[in-house]
Amino acid sequence: MVTNARTMDGSLEPAGKAGTWWFLSSEIPTFGGLLVSYIVLRLGGSGWAEASSHLNLNIALANTFLLLTSSMTIVMAHAAVQENDHKRAAKFLALTVLLGLSFLIMKALEYGVEIRHGFLPGSGIFWSFYYGMTGLHALHVFAGIIVNLVLCIQAARGSLAPNGHRIELAGLYWHFVDIVWIFLFPLLYLA
Amino acid sequence: MSAQSRHYLIIWFWLVGLVVLSVAAAWILPKSQAWVLIFTVAGAKAFLVARHYMHLKDETWLIYAIALVPLAFVFVLLIALFPDFVYHLTRR
Amino acid sequence: MQNWFPENVSTFGADVDGIFWLIFYITTVWFFLTEGLILYFVFRYRRRPGCKAVYAAGDTWRQLAWVLVPMAIIVALDVLIDVRGADVWAKVKLQRPPTDIIVRATGKQFNWEFTYPGPDGKFGTDDDLTTDNELHIPVGKPIHVVLTSKDVIHSFFLPHFRLKQDAMPGREIPVWFEATKPGEYEIPCAELCGFGHSGMNGRLFVQTADDYGRWVAEKWPEKRPTDGDRQSETKSRRSRG
Amino acid sequence: MNDIAQKNHAHGNPRNFWRLYVFSTDHKVIAKQYLGLALFWALLGGFTAYLIRWQIAHPDTEAWGWGFIEPGVYNALVTMHGTIMVFFVAMPLLLAVFGNFLIPLMIGARDMAFPRLNMLSVWIFALASIVLITSFFVPGGAPAAGWTGYPPLSAKNEYTGGGYGVDLWLVALALEFASFLLGGVNFLTTAMNLRAPGMTWLRLPVLVWMQLIAAVVFMLSVGPIIAGAVLLLMDRNLGTTFYAPAGGGDPLLWQHLFWFFGHPEVYVILLPGFGIILEVLAVFARKPVFAYRPIIYASMVAGLLSFIVWAHHQYLSGMDPRLAMPFSITTIIISVPFGLVVLSIIATLWGSSMSFQTPMLFALGSLGVFIFGGLTGIFNGSAPVDIYIHDTYFVVAHFHYTLISNVFFAGFAGLYYWFPKMFGRMMNEALGKIHFWLTFIFFNAVFGPMHLVGVGGMMRRISNPTQYDFLKPVEPLNMFITLMAILLLVSQLAFVINFLWSLLAGKVATANPWRSNTLEWTTSSPPPHENFAATPVVHRGAYEYSVPHAQDDWLPQDFDSDKASKAALP
């Protein structure tokens, strides 16, 4: 009865964390279903590797780097807030937001390049999945950026709850989005 | 810089190193071996992020269950879809 | 209940119905057991002044046996149903007895297109014969039908043969059946396929060997190879109607 | 205790009308908002059912109150009937209404763990409702691709003849899922963190357990269909080819993604229904729930199994036939956990002392009906039998027996039972009994014969059976069913009248009119803004009825026997 003990102390900590994890537990099958569909159709189909070779690996590499780094910066923000240094937390959160934004910008550029080369969502099953998966992922990144931005402002204003618990929750979501990319990157660009 | 921050930084170096490794593998190794390596590396990266950045290492069994049970179901889905789409007896 | 089924005229229809009846008898027994028990309890244990309910929380094995033993029986019956069912499923869907009559059935909004390979037994040659909503087969011979679809998902349903299989665009799904009785039967579509779904209905003519032979002779008269094209055109024109 | 709820209610009970009834964070108000939406949708769903039945019995004649029903419109009606009843009636009623209202009350909490999130989910659901209603009025009309929305039919407008209908339908579903996803997060976190002292996991009322299991099953299964819906939207609007074989996709993919969610969804609806039945039976039979723990474990097993049975909806879909038997086995094995639950419910009745008020009648009716539906499920679960009865009215009859037993009957049992707690007034007993008997008789008269129609081979979703010779024998049955269906719908007036009348002029309810043990009855009816004057302390399980040597035949969960005995001493 681990959780039963928690019943007695009503601090937001366990509630927020449990809630976030439950939310993630429904996000896992969402992307899982997408990845599974991609994998089975690719293994059963043909011409995927050829299509994938038209992707721009360099942009994707840069994006991977950006997202991994943003994951690091947001845990740094969490570490900072645990040491009750909200100013530093705000700095790291701002960094995270910037990294996330540059990820989206790079992604937009990449889309632009592909569309100029005539690779549209309708240009075949690989491109359908490419735009579908990266698009859904980008939406998640966008949502995360907004959350982080709000927390960043709160931390800068010092209006964040002393335990700064929310930064950890935002971090959980942000890391999950990062993990999704960790699998999208090889599936789309390397394989 | 606190011990914790240093720890996070070390994990980050690992992650970056693994990215480089997988890209190198994709260039150097022959396809089949490269794939094995690439996805092992991806798994390792995901593990590092989940365990250290998402603090799974100091979570209770319940959080682990919440994170792992969905993965199990996704795996079931994967297995069940193989006969229909990979072996495709009837697909044109 | 038996007489609600359409008459069965296929070789494996009886097996399918057999499983239906097996399950019917098993479930009927359970139905009367459980519902009867409920009715009895409702009558027997209705509230009476001064008589208190029994405190039985089912927390001892002795009490739990009352639900666990039936569970064991249910498991056994499930196994029985699945084992018997597996054979029938294999017979209908997994094994196909060899045959020389193969027809392609293509679903499209909103009718069935049947294509015969013709005397050369090959599809895509000029002696193919395509008919709309009309399938002629001889009695007592296994028939292979290769199902596909031009647009949406349709379902090839032969109620009198206890056969059903969806026709998928992008897939070629083979099914087989063997008629035991000549006659004219229907081939409805069993999967929602658009506003014309209701009324998408083909005709299956099961003919005696001679009748079928006559039909074949009429569709494929001895032809000179040179003007095969014209022949096939006229054939397909004749087939409309 | 429950600082969370306190934090969120630091300002106490909001005074102004909007914060109190519209944008309220109070789980009780939110539950009532869901109830209103669900009842509205139920009326609409009932009307579609009437039109469908009319067209089947008297094809191409003017339906009273509508006119002629063109085939395209008929498909739209079938589609909307399924969508509405499953996603906009069953789920809000069984999960959102009873879950929101009862979980905090039953575990002794002041409110949900995330009251604002709770408000968000009800408003997302309202938005989903608006979007779905809009689809009736867009050019091309409501979606007509079936409630399962199989592509390619749903993927291209030239196939359905629809316009934006399917797009709006997909958006509405996505929003609805999002709403219940947030709801599930709330349920689970609330039960994990806000249980009153002494309320251990195994003292939770069965209904709470069922709600939690349903929430978990929903949250773990809904992901793939959300992804699938996004893909279908892209196929429709961005020209992608996920489900188009010409472009390398596959229509079968949607069916897998849909049913991977679709079957667990069935149990998401069933389990809370069982919870309601058990709560009501225990109270009116004055007996502890038989085999409380086994019931909970069996429900968990059923929830687990529900993730590996989905392909039994696809035996004939072109799926690899070798997959059929494995899925057939898992499907039929489900009869074991559910059989255990049902037998335990029956065992609860043994040696009891039953009084037959309306909630009890509906609970018993639900049990009786569900057994029939569960047994007919074995026919559908068996792959070979499914070859013949798949996509026939046998299936339709089966899932109406299972779902209506737990939505209609259990739902009504719950409404009649908790109405006093929700609105502070009793419902009319006589009208309630009339409502039950009419519903019970006409329900069986509608869906019992429907099995025969299915055995006769009548396909689902055909608008005109008279077009088929082999369906001639079932035509009289169809007419009979339609007549009974109309009577069934009309007899629901008894409930509507009773509900509205009791709401305004019903007998004022005491705190605990049914002499129940669970915590929601220890506070006033209706409960105050933060539910409990003082957080209750729990001393025992929820079903201590007719305890030997106890002077009364019930022991409320928060009743402190030691203190009481001390007080009894001179």
Q: Assess whether C118 and C234 both reside in one domain.
A: yes
pLDDT of residue A158: 85
Contact between residue A133 and residue A41 where contact means Cβ atoms under 8 Å apart: no
Look at residues C64, C94, C124 and tell me which one is the last residue of a structural domain. C94
pLDDT of residue A1: 27
Closest CA of chain B from C144, distance in Å: 15
CB contact under 8 Å between B84 and D223, yes or no, is no
pLDDT of residue C236: 44
Best mutation target, B85, B88, B90, B91, to test chain C (most C CBs within 10 A): B90
Contact between residue D213 and residue D567 where contact means Cβ atoms under 8 Å apart: no
Contact between residue D314 and residue D384 where contact means Cβ atoms under 8 Å apart: no
Nearest chain B Cα to D217, which residue? B70
pLDDT of residue C223: 57
Contact between residue C142 and residue C98 where contact means Cβ atoms under 8 Å apart: yes
User: Can you tell me the mean pLDDT for D372-401?
Assistant: 96
Q: What is the ipTM of this complex?
A: 0.92
Q: Assess whether C162 and C82 both reside in one domain.
A: no
Please write the tens of the pLDDT for every residue from A124-160: 999 999 999 999 999 999 999 999 999 999 999 988 8
CB contact under 8 Å between B78 and A40, yes or no, is yes
Answer whether residue D10 shows pLDDT above 60. Answer: no
Say whether A162 sits in a helix, a strand or coil. coil
Please write the tens of the pLDDT for every residue from C47-78: 998 888 999 998 899 999 999 999 999 999 99
User: Can you tell me the mean pLDDT for D466-473?
Assistant: 95
Q: What residues does D287 pair with on adjacent strands?
A: none
More confident residue, D567 or D295: D295
Look at residues C94, C120, C136 and tell me which one is the last residue of a structural domain. C94
CA nearest to D262, candidates D230, D229, D297, D213: D229
Tell me the percentage of chain A whose pLDDT exceeds 70: 93
Domain boundaries, chain A: 21-190
Contact between residue C27 and residue D378 where contact means Cβ atoms under 8 Å apart: yes
Look at residues C36, C59, C94 and tell me which one is the last residue of a structural domain. C94
Cβ-Cβ contacts under 8 Å, B69 against chain D: 220
**Does the residue D567 lie in any domain?**
no
CB-based contact (8 Å) between D253 and chain B?
yes
DSSP D93: I
Answer whether residue D121 shows pLDDT above 60. Answer: yes
**Does the residue D9 lie in any domain?**
no
Residue B90: pLDDT band by 50, 70, 90 thresholds? confident
pLDDT of residue C50: 82
Burial label, A156 (beta-carbon count in 10 A; 0-12, 13-18, 19+):
middle
Q: Assess whether C26 and C136 both reside in one domain.
A: no
For chains A and D, count residue pairs whose Cβ atoms are closer than 8 Å: 137
pLDDT of residue D162: 73
Answer whether residue D9 shows pLDDT above 70. Answer: no
How many Å apart are CA D327 and CA B64, to the nearest integer?
Answer: 28
Residue type, D66: W
CB contact under 8 Å between D351 and C92, yes or no, is no
Nearest chain B Cα to D305, which residue? B73
- H helices of B1-92, in order, are 3-28, 31-48, 61-85
User: Can you tell me the mean pLDDT for C229-234?
Assistant: 44
User: Can you tell me the mean pLDDT for D221-235?
Assistant: 95
**CATH code for position D167:** 1.20.210.10
Residue D549: pLDDT band by 50, 70, 90 thresholds? confident
**Domain enclosing residue C47, as ranges:** 2-94
DSSP A122: T
Convert D372-395 into a string of H (helix), E (strand) and C (coil): HHHHHHHHHHCHHHHHHHCCEHHH
Please write the tens of the pLDDT for every residue from D253-304: 999 999 999 999 999 999 999 999 999 999 999 999 999 999 999 999 999 9
Please write the tens of the pLDDT for every residue from A43-70: 998 889 999 999 999 999 999 999 999 9
Answer whether residue D214 shows pLDDT above 60. Answer: yes
Answer whether residue D196 shows pLDDT above 90. Answer: yes
**Does the residue D570 lie in any domain?**
no
Q: Which of A30, A41, A122 is opposite residue D227, by nearest beta carbon?
A: A30
How many Å apart are CA D353 and CA C47, to the nearest integer?
Answer: 4
Q: Assess whether C224 and C203 both reside in one domain.
A: yes
pLDDT of residue A11: 40
Please write the tens of the pLDDT for every residue from C113-151: 999 998 888 898 888 999 999 999 999 999 999 999 999
CB contact under 8 Å between C194 and D372, yes or no, is no
Phi, psi of C144 (to 5 degrees): -105, 130
Q: Which residues of D537-561 are buried (b: 16+ CB within 10 A; e: fewer)?
A: ebbbbbbbbbbeeeeebbbbbbbee
CB contact under 8 Å between D318 and C171, yes or no, is yes
**Does the residue D133 lie in any domain?**
yes
Q: Assess whether C43 and C157 both reside in one domain.
A: no
Q: Assess whether C50 and C131 both reside in one domain.
A: no
Residue type, A52: S
pLDDT of residue D6: 43
**Does the residue D5 lie in any domain?**
no
Closest CA of chain B from D333, distance in Å: 18
Average pLDDT, chain D: 93
pLDDT of residue C10: 96
pLDDT of residue D465: 95
Contact between residue A137 and residue A60 where contact means Cβ atoms under 8 Å apart: no
Tell me the two tokens of residue D126. Answer: 């309202």
Nearest chain B Cα to C146, which residue? B90
Contact between residue C91 and residue C12 where contact means Cβ atoms under 8 Å apart: yes
Cβ-Cβ contacts under 8 Å, D224 against chain B: 77
Q: Assess whether C18 and C88 both reside in one domain.
A: yes
Contact between residue C143 and residue C229 where contact means Cβ atoms under 8 Å apart: no
Q: Assess whether C147 and C203 both reside in one domain.
A: yes
Q: Assess whether C119 and C82 both reside in one domain.
A: no
pLDDT of residue B49: 95
**Domain enclosing residue D64, as ranges:** 14-561
Nearest chain D Cα to B88, which residue? D320
- Give residues 129 to 148 of A whose Cβ lies within 8 Å of D: 129, 131-132, 136
**Does the residue D498 lie in any domain?**
yes
Q: Assess whether C119 and C235 both reside in one domain.
A: yes
Residue C225: pLDDT band by 50, 70, 90 thresholds? very low
More confident residue, D561 or D206: D206
Task: Please report the sign of the dihedral spanned by the C-alpha atoms of residue D205, residue D208, residue D211, residue D217.
Answer: negative
CA distances from C133 to C188, D22, D37, D159, D416 (A): 10, 58, 47, 20, 54
Residue type, D223: G
CA nearest to A170, candidates A143, A191, A135: A143
CA nearest to C42, candidates D448, D351, D25, D124: D351
Closest CA of chain C from D100, distance in Å: 28
Answer whether residue D3 shows pLDDT above 80. Answer: no
Nearest chain C Cα to B84, which residue? C171
Q: Assess whether C55 and C114 both reside in one domain.
A: no
CA nearest to D218, candidates D149, D267, D272, D277: D267
Q: How many domains does chain C have?
A: 2
Answer whether residue D501 shows pLDDT above 50. Answer: yes
| A abuts C (3+ Cβ pairs < 8 Å) | no
Q: Which residues of D308-343 are buried (b: 16+ CB within 10 A; e: fewer)?
A: bbbbbbbbbbbbbbebbbebbbbbbbbbbbbbbbbb
User: Can you tell me the mean pLDDT for D482-505?
Assistant: 96
Answer whether residue B8 shows pLDDT above 60. Answer: yes
Answer whether residue C240 shows pLDDT above 60. Answer: no
More confident residue, D52 or D12: D52
Which chains reach chain B with 3 or more Cβ–Cβ distances below 8 angstroms? A, C, D
User: Can you tell me the mean pLDDT for C25-42?
Assistant: 97
Q: How many domains does chain D have?
A: 1
Residue B61: pLDDT band by 50, 70, 90 thresholds? confident
Query: Which CATH number does A21-190 carry?
Result: 1.20.120.80
Closest CA of chain A from D250, distance in Å: 8
pLDDT of residue C221: 87
Answer whether residue C239 shows pLDDT above 80. Answer: no
**CATH code for position C53:** 1.10.287.90
